[in-house]
Structure 1
Amino acid sequence: MGTIKVLLVEDDPMVREVNRQFIERVEGFEVIAMAANGVEGFQKIQELKPDLVVIDIFMPEQNGIETLQKIRQEQLLVDVISVTAANEMPTIQHMLHLGVYDYIMKPFTFQRMEQTLQNYKQFKRKKDTIQDITQQDLDELLQKYRNADEESQPDEAVLDLPKGFNRATLDKVLAYLKQAKQGASADEVAAAIGVARVTARRYLDFMEKRDLIKVDIQYGSVGRPINQYYV
Protein backbone atom coordinates (compact mmCIF):
# COMPACT_ATOMS: atom_id res chain seq x y z
CA MET A 1 0.00 0.00 0.00
CA GLY A 2 1.35 3.43 -0.95
CA THR A 3 1.12 6.73 0.92
CA ILE A 4 -2.33 7.53 2.29
CA LYS A 5 -3.46 10.86 0.85
CA VAL A 6 -5.22 13.11 3.37
CA LEU A 7 -7.37 16.20 2.89
CA LEU A 8 -7.56 18.38 6.01
CA VAL A 9 -10.68 20.54 6.42
CA GLU A 10 -10.42 23.02 9.33
CA ASP A 11 -11.30 26.72 9.52
CA ASP A 12 -8.81 27.77 12.24
CA PRO A 13 -5.39 28.34 10.56
CA MET A 14 -3.37 27.57 13.68
CA VAL A 15 -5.29 24.38 14.47
CA ARG A 16 -5.09 23.39 10.81
CA GLU A 17 -1.30 23.64 10.87
CA VAL A 18 -0.99 21.69 14.13
CA ASN A 19 -3.23 18.95 12.74
CA ARG A 20 -1.19 18.83 9.54
CA GLN A 21 2.02 18.37 11.51
CA PHE A 22 0.43 15.65 13.66
CA ILE A 23 -0.81 13.74 10.61
CA GLU A 24 2.49 13.95 8.73
CA ARG A 25 4.44 12.76 11.77
CA VAL A 26 2.76 9.37 11.27
CA GLU A 27 4.59 7.27 8.70
CA GLY A 28 2.62 6.56 5.54
CA PHE A 29 0.39 9.67 5.60
CA GLU A 30 0.62 12.83 3.50
CA VAL A 31 -1.61 15.90 3.67
CA ILE A 32 -2.11 16.67 -0.02
CA ALA A 33 -4.34 19.72 0.51
CA MET A 34 -6.15 21.79 3.13
CA ALA A 35 -9.47 23.63 3.11
CA ALA A 36 -10.91 26.32 5.37
CA ASN A 37 -14.58 25.30 5.12
CA GLY A 38 -16.88 22.55 3.94
CA VAL A 39 -17.62 24.07 0.54
CA GLU A 40 -13.94 24.28 -0.35
CA GLY A 41 -13.33 20.88 1.21
CA PHE A 42 -16.05 19.18 -0.85
CA GLN A 43 -14.66 20.67 -4.07
CA LYS A 44 -11.17 19.39 -3.26
CA ILE A 45 -12.52 15.93 -2.48
CA GLN A 46 -14.02 15.80 -5.96
CA GLU A 47 -10.87 17.18 -7.61
CA LEU A 48 -8.11 15.39 -5.69
CA LYS A 49 -9.84 12.14 -4.62
CA PRO A 50 -8.03 11.72 -1.29
CA ASP A 51 -8.09 8.44 0.63
CA LEU A 52 -9.00 10.12 3.90
CA VAL A 53 -10.64 13.38 4.98
CA VAL A 54 -9.94 14.79 8.45
CA ILE A 55 -12.70 17.30 9.10
CA ASP A 56 -13.89 19.76 11.74
CA ILE A 57 -17.62 20.26 12.43
CA PHE A 58 -17.99 23.94 13.35
CA MET A 59 -17.04 25.80 10.16
CA PRO A 60 -18.44 28.75 8.16
CA GLU A 61 -20.39 28.39 4.89
CA GLN A 62 -20.84 24.62 5.25
CA ASN A 63 -20.21 22.70 8.46
CA GLY A 64 -18.77 19.21 8.84
CA ILE A 65 -22.13 17.45 9.13
CA GLU A 66 -23.47 19.08 5.95
CA THR A 67 -20.23 18.26 4.14
CA LEU A 68 -20.32 14.62 5.20
CA GLN A 69 -23.97 14.38 4.14
CA LYS A 70 -22.98 15.61 0.67
CA ILE A 71 -20.12 13.13 0.52
CA ARG A 72 -22.53 10.28 1.24
CA GLN A 73 -25.24 11.60 -1.10
CA GLU A 74 -22.73 11.78 -3.95
CA GLN A 75 -21.38 8.32 -2.97
CA LEU A 76 -17.81 9.58 -2.94
CA LEU A 77 -15.44 6.77 -1.95
CA VAL A 78 -13.52 8.48 0.82
CA ASP A 79 -13.09 7.70 4.52
CA VAL A 80 -13.65 10.42 7.10
CA ILE A 81 -12.28 11.15 10.57
CA SER A 82 -13.89 13.95 12.55
CA VAL A 83 -11.60 16.13 14.70
CA THR A 84 -13.70 18.69 16.54
CA ALA A 85 -14.57 20.42 19.79
CA ALA A 86 -18.21 19.33 19.44
CA ASN A 87 -19.06 17.13 22.43
CA GLU A 88 -22.86 17.03 22.24
CA MET A 89 -24.17 13.47 21.98
CA PRO A 90 -26.69 14.23 19.16
CA THR A 91 -23.84 15.67 17.05
CA ILE A 92 -21.61 12.68 17.77
CA GLN A 93 -24.42 10.24 16.93
CA HIS A 94 -25.16 12.10 13.70
CA MET A 95 -21.55 11.85 12.56
CA LEU A 96 -21.35 8.18 13.54
CA HIS A 97 -24.56 7.44 11.63
CA LEU A 98 -22.99 9.10 8.59
CA GLY A 99 -20.09 6.66 8.82
CA VAL A 100 -17.04 8.44 10.25
CA TYR A 101 -14.15 6.07 10.91
CA ASP A 102 -13.36 7.83 14.19
CA TYR A 103 -14.40 10.88 16.22
CA ILE A 104 -11.62 12.77 18.03
CA MET A 105 -12.53 15.58 20.44
CA LYS A 106 -10.33 18.65 20.92
CA PRO A 107 -8.05 19.13 22.71
CA PHE A 108 -6.28 15.85 22.02
CA THR A 109 -2.76 14.47 22.21
CA PHE A 110 -0.54 13.48 19.30
CA GLN A 111 -0.72 9.91 20.62
CA ARG A 112 -4.52 9.92 20.22
CA MET A 113 -4.22 11.01 16.59
CA GLU A 114 -1.35 8.60 15.94
CA GLN A 115 -3.29 5.62 17.31
CA THR A 116 -6.29 6.39 15.11
CA LEU A 117 -4.15 6.77 12.00
CA GLN A 118 -2.23 3.57 12.70
CA ASN A 119 -5.51 1.70 13.16
CA TYR A 120 -6.86 3.26 9.98
CA LYS A 121 -3.75 2.25 8.02
CA GLN A 122 -4.24 -1.39 9.03
CA PHE A 123 -7.97 -1.15 8.33
CA LYS A 124 -7.32 0.26 4.84
CA ARG A 125 -4.62 -2.30 4.05
CA LYS A 126 -7.02 -5.17 4.81
CA LYS A 127 -9.93 -3.49 3.07
CA ASP A 128 -7.91 -2.86 -0.11
CA THR A 129 -6.25 -6.27 -0.37
CA ILE A 130 -8.97 -8.75 0.58
CA GLN A 131 -11.19 -9.78 -2.34
CA ASP A 132 -13.43 -12.67 -1.31
CA ILE A 133 -13.76 -12.00 2.39
CA THR A 134 -14.46 -14.65 5.03
CA GLN A 135 -16.42 -14.11 8.22
CA GLN A 136 -13.15 -14.27 10.18
CA ASP A 137 -11.59 -11.60 7.94
CA LEU A 138 -14.63 -9.39 8.39
CA ASP A 139 -14.66 -9.88 12.17
CA GLU A 140 -10.99 -8.89 12.39
CA LEU A 141 -11.56 -5.86 10.16
CA LEU A 142 -14.55 -4.58 12.13
CA GLN A 143 -12.98 -5.37 15.50
CA LYS A 144 -9.96 -3.24 14.69
CA TYR A 145 -12.33 -0.41 13.76
CA ARG A 146 -14.31 -0.74 16.99
CA ASN A 147 -11.20 -0.88 19.16
CA ALA A 148 -9.61 2.31 17.87
CA ASP A 149 -10.73 4.34 20.90
CA GLU A 150 -10.08 1.61 23.44
CA GLU A 151 -6.45 1.20 22.39
CA SER A 152 -5.55 4.89 22.55
CA GLN A 153 -3.53 5.92 25.60
CA PRO A 154 -1.67 8.97 26.83
CA ASP A 155 2.11 9.29 26.48
CA GLU A 156 2.90 6.76 29.18
CA ALA A 157 0.96 3.58 29.86
CA VAL A 158 -1.81 4.15 32.37
CA LEU A 159 -3.20 0.68 32.75
CA ASP A 160 -5.77 1.13 35.48
CA LEU A 161 -7.57 4.38 36.18
CA PRO A 162 -9.05 4.85 39.65
CA LYS A 163 -12.80 4.63 40.04
CA GLY A 164 -14.50 7.78 38.78
CA PHE A 165 -11.65 8.73 36.43
CA ASN A 166 -12.23 9.15 32.71
CA ARG A 167 -9.51 8.61 30.07
CA ALA A 168 -10.87 11.37 27.84
CA THR A 169 -10.49 13.89 30.67
CA LEU A 170 -7.00 12.57 31.37
CA ASP A 171 -6.08 13.12 27.71
CA LYS A 172 -7.47 16.67 27.81
CA VAL A 173 -5.39 17.54 30.88
CA LEU A 174 -2.25 16.17 29.21
CA ALA A 175 -2.98 17.97 25.96
CA TYR A 176 -3.40 21.30 27.75
CA LEU A 177 -0.21 20.88 29.77
CA LYS A 178 1.75 20.07 26.62
CA GLN A 179 0.95 23.42 25.09
CA ALA A 180 1.42 25.32 28.38
CA LYS A 181 5.15 26.03 28.00
CA GLN A 182 5.55 27.45 31.51
CA GLY A 183 3.34 24.86 33.17
CA ALA A 184 -0.09 25.47 34.65
CA SER A 185 -1.84 25.49 38.00
CA ALA A 186 -4.89 23.40 38.87
CA ASP A 187 -7.04 26.54 38.48
CA GLU A 188 -5.71 27.17 34.98
CA VAL A 189 -6.19 23.55 33.91
CA ALA A 190 -9.74 23.51 35.29
CA ALA A 191 -10.67 26.70 33.41
CA ALA A 192 -9.07 25.52 30.17
CA ILE A 193 -10.80 22.14 29.91
CA GLY A 194 -14.07 23.07 31.64
CA VAL A 195 -13.99 21.04 34.86
CA ALA A 196 -14.11 21.92 38.56
CA ARG A 197 -10.81 22.79 40.26
CA VAL A 198 -11.11 19.82 42.59
CA THR A 199 -11.50 17.52 39.57
CA ALA A 200 -8.47 19.01 37.83
CA ARG A 201 -6.44 18.63 41.03
CA ARG A 202 -7.40 14.93 41.33
CA TYR A 203 -6.22 14.20 37.79
CA LEU A 204 -3.04 16.25 38.23
CA ASP A 205 -2.13 14.52 41.49
CA PHE A 206 -2.81 11.11 39.94
CA MET A 207 -0.64 11.83 36.89
CA GLU A 208 2.14 13.28 39.03
CA LYS A 209 2.24 10.09 41.11
CA ARG A 210 2.43 8.03 37.90
CA ASP A 211 5.33 10.21 36.62
CA LEU A 212 3.29 11.40 33.64
CA ILE A 213 3.83 15.02 34.70
CA LYS A 214 6.05 16.97 37.09
CA VAL A 215 5.12 19.52 39.74
CA ASP A 216 7.04 22.65 40.71
CA ILE A 217 6.07 24.45 43.92
CA GLN A 218 6.28 28.21 43.48
CA TYR A 219 6.43 30.52 46.48
CA GLY A 220 5.13 34.05 46.17
CA SER A 221 5.70 37.00 48.47
CA VAL A 222 2.30 36.48 50.11
CA GLY A 223 -0.26 33.71 50.35
CA ARG A 224 0.09 29.97 49.96
CA PRO A 225 2.56 28.37 47.51
CA ILE A 226 1.17 27.40 44.09
CA ASN A 227 1.76 24.06 42.42
CA GLN A 228 2.72 24.43 38.76
CA TYR A 229 2.32 21.24 36.73
CA TYR A 230 4.13 20.56 33.48
CA VAL A 231 5.00 17.73 31.10
Structure 2
Amino acid sequence: MLKQTIQVMIIEDDETATKIYERFTQKVEGFQVVATTSSGKQALELLNVFTPDLILLDVFLPDIKGTDLLWEIRKKFRNVDVIMITAANDVYTVREAIRGGAFSYLMKPIMLDKFMETLEHYKKTRIKLFSLVTVQQDDVNNFFRMKKSEEPILGETKTGALPKGIDKHTLKKITQKLKETNASTNAEELAKNLGASHSTVRRYLEYLVSNNEVEVEVMFGTIGRPERRYRKK
Protein backbone atom coordinates (compact mmCIF):
# COMPACT_ATOMS: atom_id res chain seq x y z
CA MET A 1 0.00 0.00 0.00
CA LEU A 2 1.31 3.43 -0.94
CA LYS A 3 1.83 5.79 1.99
CA GLN A 4 0.40 9.29 1.58
CA THR A 5 3.46 11.03 3.03
CA ILE A 6 6.92 10.47 1.56
CA GLN A 7 9.39 10.20 4.43
CA VAL A 8 12.81 11.67 3.69
CA MET A 9 16.25 11.27 5.25
CA ILE A 10 18.97 13.84 4.47
CA ILE A 11 22.61 12.69 4.60
CA GLU A 12 24.75 15.83 4.30
CA ASP A 13 27.70 17.08 6.38
CA ASP A 14 27.11 20.78 5.62
CA GLU A 15 24.67 22.02 8.25
CA THR A 16 23.55 25.02 6.19
CA ALA A 17 22.85 22.84 3.14
CA THR A 18 20.91 20.40 5.33
CA LYS A 19 18.66 23.18 6.61
CA ILE A 20 18.03 24.44 3.06
CA TYR A 21 17.14 20.97 1.76
CA GLU A 22 14.91 20.33 4.76
CA ARG A 23 13.05 23.61 4.37
CA PHE A 24 12.43 23.29 0.63
CA THR A 25 11.63 19.56 0.75
CA GLN A 26 8.81 20.29 3.16
CA LYS A 27 7.52 23.03 0.86
CA VAL A 28 6.65 20.27 -1.64
CA GLU A 29 3.29 18.77 -0.76
CA GLY A 30 3.46 15.17 0.42
CA PHE A 31 7.05 15.19 1.72
CA GLN A 32 8.23 15.07 5.32
CA VAL A 33 11.86 15.15 6.49
CA VAL A 34 12.05 12.66 9.35
CA ALA A 35 15.82 12.52 9.94
CA THR A 36 19.08 14.25 9.08
CA THR A 37 22.60 13.02 9.62
CA SER A 38 26.11 14.13 8.71
CA SER A 39 27.94 10.79 8.30
CA GLY A 40 27.57 7.41 6.66
CA LYS A 41 27.93 5.55 9.96
CA GLN A 42 25.07 7.50 11.55
CA ALA A 43 22.97 6.99 8.45
CA LEU A 44 23.34 3.19 8.56
CA GLU A 45 22.50 3.19 12.27
CA LEU A 46 19.34 5.20 11.57
CA LEU A 47 18.37 2.89 8.72
CA ASN A 48 18.46 -0.03 11.13
CA VAL A 49 15.84 1.77 13.22
CA PHE A 50 13.48 2.99 10.49
CA THR A 51 13.35 2.97 6.70
CA PRO A 52 12.56 6.21 4.84
CA ASP A 53 11.08 6.27 1.36
CA LEU A 54 13.70 8.65 -0.04
CA ILE A 55 17.27 9.65 0.85
CA LEU A 56 18.93 12.89 -0.25
CA LEU A 57 22.59 11.87 -0.29
CA ASP A 58 25.76 13.94 -0.53
CA VAL A 59 28.88 12.38 -2.07
CA PHE A 60 31.53 14.00 0.11
CA LEU A 61 30.91 12.71 3.64
CA PRO A 62 33.56 12.67 6.40
CA ASP A 63 33.71 8.89 6.79
CA ILE A 64 32.64 7.37 3.46
CA LYS A 65 32.08 8.43 -0.12
CA GLY A 66 28.39 8.84 -0.86
CA THR A 67 28.48 6.47 -3.85
CA ASP A 68 29.98 3.74 -1.63
CA LEU A 69 27.22 4.39 0.90
CA LEU A 70 24.71 4.13 -1.94
CA TRP A 71 25.89 0.56 -2.61
CA GLU A 72 25.59 -0.29 1.11
CA ILE A 73 22.04 1.04 1.09
CA ARG A 74 21.26 -0.99 -2.03
CA LYS A 75 22.54 -4.22 -0.40
CA LYS A 76 20.48 -3.88 2.78
CA PHE A 77 17.60 -1.48 2.05
CA ARG A 78 16.51 -2.04 -1.54
CA ASN A 79 13.13 -0.31 -1.10
CA VAL A 80 14.76 3.06 -0.40
CA ASP A 81 15.11 5.53 -3.26
CA VAL A 82 18.10 7.88 -3.45
CA ILE A 83 18.69 11.28 -5.00
CA MET A 84 22.34 12.34 -5.10
CA ILE A 85 23.11 15.98 -4.26
CA THR A 86 26.77 16.86 -4.73
CA ALA A 87 29.46 19.10 -6.12
CA ALA A 88 31.14 16.06 -7.70
CA ASN A 89 31.19 16.47 -11.49
CA ASP A 90 33.61 13.68 -12.43
CA VAL A 91 32.34 10.99 -14.75
CA TYR A 92 33.32 8.12 -12.43
CA THR A 93 31.06 9.38 -9.64
CA VAL A 94 28.16 9.92 -12.04
CA ARG A 95 28.63 6.39 -13.44
CA GLU A 96 28.61 4.92 -9.94
CA ALA A 97 25.45 6.83 -9.08
CA ILE A 98 23.72 5.48 -12.20
CA ARG A 99 24.93 1.92 -11.57
CA GLY A 100 23.83 2.19 -7.95
CA GLY A 101 20.32 3.07 -9.04
CA ALA A 102 20.11 6.71 -7.99
CA PHE A 103 16.79 8.27 -9.03
CA SER A 104 18.44 11.58 -9.91
CA TYR A 105 21.72 13.47 -9.64
CA LEU A 106 21.66 17.18 -8.68
CA MET A 107 24.86 19.20 -8.84
CA LYS A 108 25.78 21.97 -6.44
CA PRO A 109 25.20 24.86 -6.30
CA ILE A 110 21.61 23.66 -6.25
CA MET A 111 18.97 25.55 -8.20
CA LEU A 112 16.00 25.37 -5.84
CA ASP A 113 13.43 25.31 -8.65
CA LYS A 114 15.19 22.27 -10.12
CA PHE A 115 15.41 20.68 -6.67
CA MET A 116 11.66 21.01 -6.08
CA GLU A 117 10.87 19.95 -9.65
CA THR A 118 12.90 16.75 -9.11
CA LEU A 119 10.94 15.97 -5.93
CA GLU A 120 7.67 16.52 -7.80
CA HIS A 121 8.83 14.17 -10.58
CA TYR A 122 9.84 11.58 -7.97
CA LYS A 123 6.42 11.81 -6.31
CA LYS A 124 4.56 11.40 -9.64
CA THR A 125 6.78 8.47 -10.64
CA ARG A 126 6.26 6.78 -7.28
CA ILE A 127 2.47 7.15 -7.45
CA LYS A 128 2.32 5.77 -10.98
CA LEU A 129 4.59 2.81 -10.22
CA PHE A 130 2.31 1.83 -7.34
CA SER A 131 -0.88 2.27 -9.37
CA LEU A 132 0.07 0.35 -12.55
CA VAL A 133 0.21 -3.39 -13.12
CA THR A 134 1.80 -3.23 -16.56
CA VAL A 135 3.47 -0.33 -18.38
CA GLN A 136 3.76 0.99 -21.91
CA GLN A 137 6.93 2.39 -23.49
CA ASP A 138 5.64 5.95 -22.99
CA ASP A 139 5.31 5.24 -19.26
CA VAL A 140 8.91 4.02 -19.13
CA ASN A 141 10.04 7.07 -21.10
CA ASN A 142 8.41 9.31 -18.51
CA PHE A 143 9.95 7.39 -15.61
CA PHE A 144 13.43 7.76 -17.08
CA ARG A 145 12.77 11.22 -18.56
CA MET A 146 13.50 9.99 -22.06
CA LYS A 147 12.48 12.24 -24.94
CA LYS A 148 10.42 10.87 -27.78
CA SER A 149 12.44 10.38 -30.94
CA GLU A 150 10.05 12.53 -32.96
CA GLU A 151 10.49 15.57 -30.71
CA PRO A 152 12.06 18.61 -32.39
CA ILE A 153 15.52 19.81 -31.44
CA LEU A 154 15.82 22.29 -28.60
CA GLY A 155 14.23 25.59 -29.53
CA GLU A 156 12.40 24.47 -32.68
CA THR A 157 8.69 23.93 -33.08
CA LYS A 158 7.32 20.69 -34.51
CA THR A 159 7.00 22.35 -37.91
CA GLY A 160 10.53 23.71 -37.70
CA ALA A 161 9.21 27.28 -37.93
CA LEU A 162 10.99 29.95 -35.89
CA PRO A 163 9.73 33.42 -35.00
CA LYS A 164 11.09 36.55 -36.65
CA GLY A 165 14.50 37.51 -35.27
CA ILE A 166 15.49 33.92 -34.37
CA ASP A 167 17.94 32.35 -36.80
CA LYS A 168 18.20 28.55 -36.93
CA HIS A 169 22.00 28.44 -37.10
CA THR A 170 22.51 30.93 -34.26
CA LEU A 171 19.95 29.07 -32.19
CA LYS A 172 21.82 25.81 -32.79
CA LYS A 173 25.12 27.36 -31.63
CA ILE A 174 23.56 28.74 -28.46
CA THR A 175 21.72 25.53 -27.57
CA GLN A 176 24.87 23.48 -28.21
CA LYS A 177 26.87 25.72 -25.90
CA LEU A 178 24.17 25.38 -23.22
CA LYS A 179 24.36 21.58 -23.53
CA GLU A 180 28.12 21.72 -23.00
CA THR A 181 27.79 23.92 -19.91
CA ASN A 182 27.28 21.98 -16.68
CA ALA A 183 26.66 25.02 -14.51
CA SER A 184 24.22 27.86 -15.12
CA THR A 185 25.39 30.83 -17.20
CA ASN A 186 24.31 34.38 -17.86
CA ALA A 187 23.92 36.14 -21.21
CA GLU A 188 27.19 38.05 -20.86
CA GLU A 189 29.26 34.91 -20.21
CA LEU A 190 27.62 33.05 -23.07
CA ALA A 191 28.03 35.99 -25.44
CA LYS A 192 31.75 36.14 -24.66
CA ASN A 193 32.15 32.41 -25.36
CA LEU A 194 30.29 32.68 -28.67
CA GLY A 195 31.73 36.00 -29.80
CA ALA A 196 28.23 37.42 -30.13
CA SER A 197 26.58 40.51 -28.71
CA HIS A 198 25.01 40.44 -25.25
CA SER A 199 21.62 41.60 -26.56
CA THR A 200 21.50 38.91 -29.25
CA VAL A 201 22.32 36.09 -26.85
CA ARG A 202 19.86 37.43 -24.28
CA ARG A 203 17.09 37.43 -26.92
CA TYR A 204 17.76 33.78 -27.83
CA LEU A 205 17.94 32.73 -24.17
CA GLU A 206 14.62 34.39 -23.38
CA TYR A 207 13.13 32.70 -26.43
CA LEU A 208 14.22 29.30 -25.10
CA VAL A 209 12.81 30.19 -21.67
CA SER A 210 9.46 31.07 -23.28
CA ASN A 211 9.48 27.63 -24.94
CA ASN A 212 10.02 26.05 -21.50
CA GLU A 213 13.26 24.45 -22.75
CA VAL A 214 15.67 26.48 -20.66
CA GLU A 215 15.18 27.43 -17.01
CA VAL A 216 16.15 30.76 -15.54
CA GLU A 217 17.16 31.62 -12.00
CA VAL A 218 17.18 35.18 -10.72
CA MET A 219 20.19 35.83 -8.47
CA PHE A 220 20.02 38.81 -6.13
CA GLY A 221 23.38 40.42 -5.32
CA THR A 222 24.24 43.20 -2.92
CA ILE A 223 24.72 45.81 -5.65
CA GLY A 224 23.02 46.44 -8.99
CA ARG A 225 20.16 44.71 -10.76
CA PRO A 226 19.27 41.03 -10.22
CA GLU A 227 21.25 38.64 -12.44
CA ARG A 228 19.42 36.17 -14.68
CA ARG A 229 21.24 32.83 -15.03
CA TYR A 230 20.21 30.15 -17.51
CA ARG A 231 20.48 26.36 -17.59
CA LYS A 232 19.25 23.77 -20.08
CA LYS A 233 16.50 21.57 -18.64
Normalising by structure 1, we get a TM-score of 0.69
| 2:145 pairs with 1:147 | yes
Mapped partners of 2:28, 2:22: distance in 1: 10
RMSD: 3.8
Query: What corresponds to 2:78 in structure 1?
Result: 76
* Correspondent of 1:112 among 111, 114, 118: 114
> What is the DSSP-based 3-state SS (H/G/I as helix, E as strand, rest coil) of the residue aligned with 1:47?
coil
Aligned pairs for 1:207-222 (under 5 A) are: 207=202, 210=206
Deviation per residue, 1:168-202 (Å, 9 max, x gap): 8486347xxxxxxxxxxx7xxx7xxxxx9944997
Q: Is the 8 A contact 2:141 2:147 kept in 1?
A: no
Deviation per residue, 1:53-81 (Å, 9 max, x gap): 01000111122112111111224310000
For structure 1, the residue ranges without an aligned partner over 5 or more in a row are 151-157, 175-185, 191-195, 219-226
Mapped partners of 1:95, 1:115: distance in 2: 20
Mapped partners of 1:215, 1:21: distance in 2: 20
Q: Is the 8 A contact 2:191 2:198 kept in 1?
A: no
Query: What corresponds to 2:130 in structure 1?
Result: 128
In terms of fraction of residues, the more helix-rich structure is 1
Q: Is the 8 A contact 1:57 1:82 kept in 2?
A: yes
> What is the DSSP-based 3-state SS (H/G/I as helix, E as strand, rest coil) of the residue aligned with 2:177?
coil
> What is the DSSP-based 3-state SS (H/G/I as helix, E as strand, rest coil) of the residue aligned with 1:99?
coil
Mapped partners of 1:148, 1:113: distance in 2: 19
Query: What corresponds to 1:94 in structure 2?
Result: 96
Deviation of 1:35 (Å): 0.7
Q: Counterpart of 2:69 in structure 1: which amino acid?
A: T
- Distance change >3 Å, CA 74–CA 95, structure 1 → 2: same
* Correspondent of 2:40 among 34, 38, 41: 38
Mapped partners of 1:20, 1:201: distance in 2: 42
Query: What corresponds to 1:8 in structure 2?
Result: 10
For structure 2, the residue ranges without an aligned partner over 5 or more in a row are 149-153, 157-170, 210-215, 229-233
Normalising by structure 2, we get a TM-score of 0.68
Deviation per residue, 1:64-106 (Å, 9 max, x gap): 1121111112243100000100000111001100100111111
Deviation of 1:25 (Å): 1.6
| 2:178 pairs with 1:166 | yes
Q: Counterpart of 2:16 in structure 1: which amino acid?
A: M
Give the paired residue count: 193
Mapped partners of 1:24, 1:147: distance in 2: 24
- What is the aligned-residue identity percentage? 24
Deviation of 1:142 (Å): 2.4
